[in-house]
């Protein structure tokens, strides 16, 4: 049954991260042809904004070493403005531009420890590295997203002060990013914390119209945190088909919010997502078979065996 609630949007944009954030954490390398088919099936299910891959050195993340091959395999579908790729530095941007992509994302950290582990740089040094990437991308008319990870908690540093998160977010957005994604990388965030952070970001001048939320479901809080974000005006939600994902540099990070679980909640609230849930569930069942293990998504488990 559809039972709308007050204070929620009529529609949202799902920023699909399964092909990149999901598959980068797999123990084995998924063949390029399987990745391409996965993306095509997600597109057929109605997902439009899909982060396809990452142009990182193969030694960093071997699972995504085929970025150029994947983009070429997808052709023009991978070169639309709604098919961003992650780039860590100018060399990654060079490769992404050569591949013909139209949008990119950079990936920063709210904590010094994770910045060192993920990028081998301090927060300040990583921002210095991103500055020419963002400038060049904008000069070439690319859309740019800025991720900030560890916005709620860090496995090495513990709870992350809200003012520290806001400071890093503001500095990243000042580089010229079009959108900010705040990440609960290890899934420790709770609804009140989400509300306080969004309020603090708003007070700093970063409105909810420029914010996406990226929740991991380690403690089962991803949907409740998402609902609070929607009540605060957020309209972009990161999710991963089948609940795939984690983080290769933070072992306590489990899967992302499953796209199917998000769509189920939104459908019940009367929020339009543009997604055909049956097709998406079938896609996750297919992908689970490719990976040799069941999907962690509760909706996939409920509907995929029906």
- State the Cα–Cα distance between residues 247 and 285, nearest whole angstrom: 22
Sole residue written with tokens 């540093």: 157
- The residues with which 153 forms a beta bridge, in sequence order, are 159
Q: What is the β-pairing status of strands 236-239 and 158-159? A: unpaired
Evaluate whether 21 touches 53 at the Cβ level (below 8 Å): no
Q: Where are the alpha helices (DSSP H) in the chain?
A: 32-44, 67-74, 90-99, 112-119, 123-139, 162-173, 191-203, 222-231, 259-269, 277-291, 298-303
Q: Is 247 a catalytic residue?
A: yes
Handedness of CA 288, 289, 294, 297 (dihedral sign): positive
Q: What are the beta bridge partners of residue 148?
A: 108, 182
- For residue 182, the Cα-to-chain-centroid distance in whole angstroms is 9
DSSP code for 216: B
Tell me which of 169, 177, 247, 266 is the catalytic residue: 247
Core vs surface per residue 55-71: b (16+ CB within 10 A) or e: bbeeebbebbbbbbebb
The catalytic residue positions are 247
């Amino acid at each position: 049954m559809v039972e709308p609630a007050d204070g929620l949007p009529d529609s949202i944009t799902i920023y699909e991260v399964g092909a990149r954030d999901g598959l980068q954490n797999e123990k084995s390398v998924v063949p390029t042809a399987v990745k391409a088919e996965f993306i095509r099936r997600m597109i057929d299910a109605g997902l439009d904004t899909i982060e396809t891959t990452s142009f990182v050195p193969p030694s960093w993340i071997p699972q995504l070493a085929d970025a150029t091959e994947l983009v070429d395999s997808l052709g023009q579908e991978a070169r639309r403005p709604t098919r961003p790729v992650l780039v860590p530095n100018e060399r990654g941007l060079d490769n992404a531009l050569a591949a013909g992509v139209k949008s990119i994302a950079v990936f920063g950290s709210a904590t010094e420890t994770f910045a060192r582990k993920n990028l081998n740089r301090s927060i300040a040094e990583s921002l210095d590295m991103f500055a020419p990437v963002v400038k060049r991308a904008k000069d070439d008319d690319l859309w740019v997203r800025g991720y900030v990870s560890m916005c709620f908690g860090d496995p090495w540093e513990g709870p992350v002060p809200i003012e520290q998160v806001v400071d890093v977010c503001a500095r990243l957005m000042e580089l010229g990013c079009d959108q900010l994604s705040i990440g609960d990388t290890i899934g420790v965030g709770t609804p009140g914390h989400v509300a306080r952070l969004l309020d603090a970001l708003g007070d700093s001048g970063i409105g909810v119209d420029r914010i996406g939320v990226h929740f991991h479901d380690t403690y089962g809080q991803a949907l409740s945190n998402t609902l609070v974000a929607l009540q605060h005006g957020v309209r972009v939600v990161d999710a991963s088909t089948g609940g795939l994902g984690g983080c290769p540099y933070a072992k306590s990070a489990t899967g992302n919010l499953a796209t199917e679980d998000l769509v189920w909640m939104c459908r019940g609230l009367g929020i339009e997502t543009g997604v055909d849930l049956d097709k998406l569930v079938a896609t996750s069942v297919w992908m689970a078979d490719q990976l040799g293990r069941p999907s962690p998504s509760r909706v996939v488990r409920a509907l995929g065996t029906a």
